[in-house]
Amino acid sequence: MTLPHGGKHRPHLLVCCVNYAPEILGTAPYTRDLAQWFADRGWDVRVVTTYPYYPEWRRRPGDPRFGYRRDGGDGVTVLRCPSWVPALPTGLKRLAHYASFAASSLPIVIGHAAWRPDFTLVVAPTLASAPGALLAARLARGRSWLHMQDYEVDVALRLGLLPPAGRSALKWLESRLLRSFDVVTSITEPMLGVARGLGVPAERLILLPNWANLAVVRPLDRPSRFRASLGIPDGWRVVLYTGNLGRKQGIALIADAARRSQDRGSPVMYVVSGDGADREALGSAATAHALTNLLRVPLQPDESFNELLNLADAHLVVQEAGVADLVMPSKLTNMLASGRPVIATAAAGTALAELVRGHDVGTVVDPGDPAALAAAIAEMFTDDDTRLRQGANARAFAEAFLDRDTLLEAALARMREQRC
């Protein structure tokens, strides 16, 4: 690779992101893995982020409200900036949260222009950090890189989290920002298509899917220890949801499907491991309907994560209608790596639906239909041959297409080609 500055110094990568380790859900693990991957290959990597708060939307004990901090480890320097964290993250409050991080991190990001990063990477969400990062990249005469994990503006508008009055201005700003970056990556082809529709030239677009942690997440040849610790009866099947409990995930669907399974006497246990803005709503629904077939467990640390994923006879991926073309659930990759099929709510033609059906790794039902979801779960557990075949297909897909080294090496090679 010819470095933007023409020199032979150790290359520099500056990463701007609102979510980073030790957060274990959402985009944070992937951004951490990306930063470590570059560091392991000799890059000097610095990450500008805020203090961990997600998915609980709470500041963690010991973290300052207003101060800055420098952390280290794994060859990556992490610079933490303060931000306002709303207890109830409505659409406008999320924007204020992102704006507070953009403001507090701006002097840190601009100051790094003197460090001369070869790439300045923004991970979206949030685009609020994009203007400062673009300016830093220009001042450093390096390249600007935007990685779209989801389209926060479009998702918020479709879910009614933002008032429609400002739609035109927000869409114009989103388009202007995306078109300003030298490289735009995203995790699915349809999401790259959204960027193309916003005016990003095709030659700047690169596919960079999320990966699976293949070394840690793998099928077990024995029952998960969680079965005994949770007291799940012998003969019962487990459908597992792991991840954020938020609006775009359509969490209410889980409680409704569990109620229908309980009413029909199906021996299916719904296990939910997660946290987020809708956690109380899920608990209230479980209490209101006296759901004895719905268990909630805390988020699990890395050392217990594979054990938890292997609790599942099938994994559950639920989303609100209308957003599946704008996001790809980050939790999906490790679900597939665990060698279990998935039951996904997604509209036909979306990347999620095409992946599940095209590679025969599970079943797809229309979003927002709890009766269809409960029926699909019951049907999956009446056909063990199909379920086991789809689970094996899921692991095979992860091994073939979700290896971190392969994906990042391919993306970096494309960036080199663009520069030539």
Q: How confident is residue 4, by pLDDT bands cut at 50, 70 and 90? A: very low
Question: 247 with 381, same domain?
Answer: yes
* Token representation of residue 9: 């110094």
Question: 318 with 384, same domain?
Answer: yes
Nearest to residue 226, comparing CAs of 173, 273, 284?
273
C-alpha–C-alpha distance, residues 194 and 403, integer Å: 25
Examine residue 51 and state whether it is found in any structural domain, yes or no. yes
C-alpha–C-alpha distance, residues 137 and 154, integer Å: 26
pLDDT tens-digit readout, 326-374: 667 888 999 999 999 999 998 888 889 999 999 999 999 988 888 899 9
Strand, coil or helix: what is 27? Answer: coil
Instruction: Give the count of domains, the chain.
Output: 2
List the single range of 54-58, 252-256, 279-283 with lowest mean pLDDT.
Answer: 279-283
- In total, the chain counts a number of residues equal to 420
Higher pLDDT, 160 or 387: 387
Examine residue 1 and state whether it is found in any structural domain, yes or no. no
Question: 119 with 235, same domain?
Answer: no
User: What is 129-171 written as a DSSP string?
Assistant: GHHHHHHHHHHHT-EEEEEESB-HHHHHHHTT-S-GGGHHHHH
Examine residue 371 and state whether it is found in any structural domain, yes or no. yes
C-alpha–C-alpha distance, residues 171 and 182, integer Å: 20
- List of long-range contacts for 96-101, beta carbons under 8 Å, 24+ apart: 98/18, 98/125, 98/126, 98/127, 98/128, 98/129, 98/152, 99/128, 101/18, 101/50, 101/126, 101/128, 101/129
Q: How confident is residue 1, by pLDDT bands cut at 50, 70 and 90? A: very low
Which range has the top average pLDDT, 149-153, 154-158, 320-324? 149-153
C-alpha–C-alpha distance, residues 36 and 43, integer Å: 9
Question: 23 with 134, same domain?
Answer: yes
Overall average pLDDT of the 210-230 stretch: 95
**pLDDT at residue 165 above 80?**
no
Question: 187 with 265, same domain?
Answer: no
Examine residue 136 and state whether it is found in any structural domain, yes or no. yes
Question: 274 with 384, same domain?
Answer: yes
pLDDT tens-digit readout, 261-299: 999 999 999 999 988 767 777 888 888 889 999 999 988
Tally of helices (H runs) and strands (E runs) in the chain: 15, 14
User: In the chain, pLDDT over 70 holds for what percent of residues?
Assistant: 92
Examine residue 218 and state whether it is found in any structural domain, yes or no. no
Question: 383 with 407, same domain?
Answer: no
Question: 295 with 157, same domain?
Answer: no
Q: pTM score > 0.95 for this model? A: no
Question: 164 with 231, same domain?
Answer: no
Question: 97 with 157, same domain?
Answer: yes
Overall average pLDDT of the 6-12 stretch: 73
* Residue found by looking up tokens 């597992």 in the block: 240
Question: 200 with 344, same domain?
Answer: no
Q: What is the CATH number of the domain that holds 109?
A: 3.40.50.2000
Examine residue 216 and state whether it is found in any structural domain, yes or no. no
Question: 331 with 408, same domain?
Answer: no
Domain containing 202: what range?
A: 12-211+403-419
User: What's residue 323's pLDDT?
Assistant: 58
Examine residue 145 and state whether it is found in any structural domain, yes or no. yes
pLDDT tens-digit readout, 73-94: 778 999 999 999 998 888 788 8
Examine residue 157 and state whether it is found in any structural domain, yes or no. yes
